[in-house]
Amino acid sequence: MGRNPIYTRVYNQLKYQILSGELPIGSHLPPERKLATRLGVSRNTVVRAYAELESEGFIAGRMGSGRRVEALPPAPLLTRVNWNSQSSYNHLASSPSHMAELLSITDAYPDTINFAHGDGGKHTLSSSCFPDYVKAAAEKVQSYFFTAVHGLPLLREQLVEWMGMEQISSPEQVCVTSGSQEGLYLITSILAKPGDCIVTEMPTYFGSLQLFASLGIQIIPVPLDQDGMRMDVLEGILARSHPRFIYTVPTFHNPTGRTLSFVRRKQLLALSERYGIPIVEDDAYRHLHLDAEPPSPLNSMDQSGHVIYLNTFSKILFPGLRTGWIAGNQQFIQLITRLKELSISTNTLGQIALASFLKNGELAPHLATARNLYREQAQLMESQLAPLRSLGIQYEKAAGGLYFWIALPEELNPRELMHTCMKSGVSFTCGDMFLVREAEQPYIRLCYTHEGAERIEQGMSILTHVLRKQKEAFS
């Protein structure tokens, strides 16, 4: 039995019969007592249901002839749809649109020197044999048809092998998604509802902030220091509130490039166990170390099954593939798969190409080449950033990931710098995108991997020129 009073069931039943035409306009409704007997309810129940339908204009009683279904109410000839009030996402219109803004750069300014997008750019593509795998996949007839909701079985098998974690031992613990952004959307939709809160590093990946804001989810920020997310602050939060989950990018964090130390990883897992809070580990940058390998993923250290692991091919291959994956305990993956089913599945062509690329052992050499390229690009960009220290800019040497997170001298305005550079043909991202409160902040983020050497030099000299001019204006 539902929680609704019985009269609402009678009311709903009659209303649907009227709307569907089963009870046409003008048809007679049975007298109260007769209907009550037929439905096995009290007369009062029918009286209330009829009263409700009458107040809404569905039926009307006439002296001597009982109740009948009413004619359709008069409607104006034209009623415009109000699209804003059609959306059930109340927070969508008011949340920032950073992702669309960033993605529009390539179409609106195809020649701009792009330090804004976080990916390996054209040179990584041209040094990879992956396009051959796409061509080969396009010749396979099964590439053009659906595959399983949670992904091509062969790709899920390969992912289990590639991750090499004791905790993820079966392809049934993996769900392939349209990029890790979709993965985060699915995870968040399962774990949290509007008004709930989650915890995350601050600053953090702007796509996650935009997603949480659009879904009406409150964000409790935790600052980072050199060793990553501050566990003392996190503990204080968990002791006082019950967030739905902790979202973290613990390895070569976007945008700061910092990595959660091994000791803190253990503390984070212990806190998650103690307070019963799931961790969503976004590991997009793990394989992009320029020097030493980072500590193991949280997921591989997890003894409680609390960690949900999220990763993507966007940073290690190409973002246009739109292929990522979620891995975790099978029960949770089953829930994710039910939700993913609503958008059917991820594109088969890319999954077939990826599965054979991984099966043939091509990913490891591809990454080795990419890392060598990225190391050179990071060094080149840094050689042009170093002289700017004398102007008051601050940054940390890149250890991995794709970015320099740069603090400008306090008199310079990051947005102003960004707009002037954009006019001169250089784009980058402004630090406020990575913060919940878009208060005054001194940061910009430069990606060192999207452009090849020549364009990095050109772009950096334009940026240097604009920065010096803006700085001079204050001296």
Ligand X SMILES: Cc1ncc(COP(=O)(O)O)c(C=O)c1O
The least CB distance from residue 314 to ligand X, in Å, is 3
- Biggest CA-to-CA distance, the chain: 96
**Mask: binding to ligand X, 313-352, rule CB under 6 A, as x and -?**
-x----x----x----------------------------
- 180 near ligand X, rule: CB under 6 A: yes
Stretch near ligand X under the rule CB under 6 A, chosen from 2-10, 136-144, 311-319, 435-443: 311-319
- 434 near ligand X, rule: CB under 6 A: no
CB 411 within 8 A of CB 401: no
Position with the least CB separation from ligand X: 179
Instruction: State the amino acid at position 102 in one-letter form.
Output: L
- 181 near ligand X, rule: CB under 6 A: yes
The residue assigned the tokens 């920020």 is 221
Residue among 32, 282, 302, 451 that touches ligand X (CB under 6 A): 282
Residue among 113, 116, 229, 284 that touches ligand X (CB under 6 A): 284
The least CB distance from residue 371 to ligand X, in Å, is 17
The least CB distance from residue 160 to ligand X, in Å, is 19
Residue among 29, 58, 114, 118 that touches ligand X (CB under 6 A): 118
Helix orientation angle between 363-385 and 453-472, rounded to the nearest 10 degrees: 30
The least CB distance from residue 299 to ligand X, in Å, is 15
For 15-35, the DSSP string reads: HHHHHTTSS-TTPBPPPHHHH
Considering beta carbons, is residue 179 or 350 the nearer one to ligand X?
179
Dist. CA 80–CA 467, nearest whole Å = 50
- 281 near ligand X, rule: CB under 6 A: no
The least CB distance from residue 134 to ligand X, in Å, is 17
- 40-70: buried (b, 16+ CB within 10 Å) or exposed (e) per residue? ebeeebbebbbebbeeeebbeeeeeeebbbb
Instruction: State the amino acid at position 264 in one-letter form.
Output: R
Residue among 120, 179, 294, 400 that touches ligand X (CB under 6 A): 179
- 251 near ligand X, rule: CB under 6 A: no
Dist. CA 69–CA 328, nearest whole Å = 55
Considering beta carbons, is residue 50 or 434 the nearer one to ligand X?
434
- 207 near ligand X, rule: CB under 6 A: yes
- 326: CB partners within 8 A, 6+ apart: 174, 175, 177, 183, 186, 187, 308, 309, 310, 333, 336
The least CB distance from residue 298 to ligand X, in Å, is 14
CA distances from 58 to 62, 219, 262 (A): 14, 45, 67
Dist. CA 313–CA 283, nearest whole Å = 11
The least CB distance from residue 457 to ligand X, in Å, is 24
- 254 near ligand X, rule: CB under 6 A: yes
Considering beta carbons, is residue 249 or 269 the nearer one to ligand X?
249
- 249 near ligand X, rule: CB under 6 A: yes
Stretch near ligand X under the rule CB under 6 A, chosen from 38-46, 166-174, 175-183, 429-437: 175-183
Residues 219-238 that bind ligand X (CB under 6 A): none
The least CB distance from residue 449 to ligand X, in Å, is 12
Considering beta carbons, is residue 294 or 324 the nearer one to ligand X?
324
The least CB distance from residue 300 to ligand X, in Å, is 18
- 259 near ligand X, rule: CB under 6 A: no
The least CB distance from residue 14 to ligand X, in Å, is 48
Query: Which H/E stretch holds residue 443?
Result: strand 443-447
Stretch near ligand X under the rule CB under 6 A, chosen from 176-184, 363-371, 388-396, 438-446: 176-184
- 176: CB partners within 8 A, 6+ apart: 150, 151, 152, 155, 156, 159, 323, 324, 325, 345, 346, 351
Query: Which H/E stretch holds residue 355?
Result: helix 348-359
CA distances from 408 to 114, 226, 470 (A): 19, 19, 11
Dist. CA 209–CA 203, nearest whole Å = 9
Measured in residues, the chain has a length of 475
Residue 31's nearest CA partner among 39, 19, 6 is 39
Considering beta carbons, is residue 50 or 313 the nearer one to ligand X?
313
Dist. CA 288–CA 401, nearest whole Å = 5
The least CB distance from residue 209 to ligand X, in Å, is 11
- 205 near ligand X, rule: CB under 6 A: yes
Query: Would you tell me which residues interact with ligand X (CB under 6 A)?
Result: 118, 179-181, 205, 207, 249, 254, 282, 284, 312, 314, 319, 324
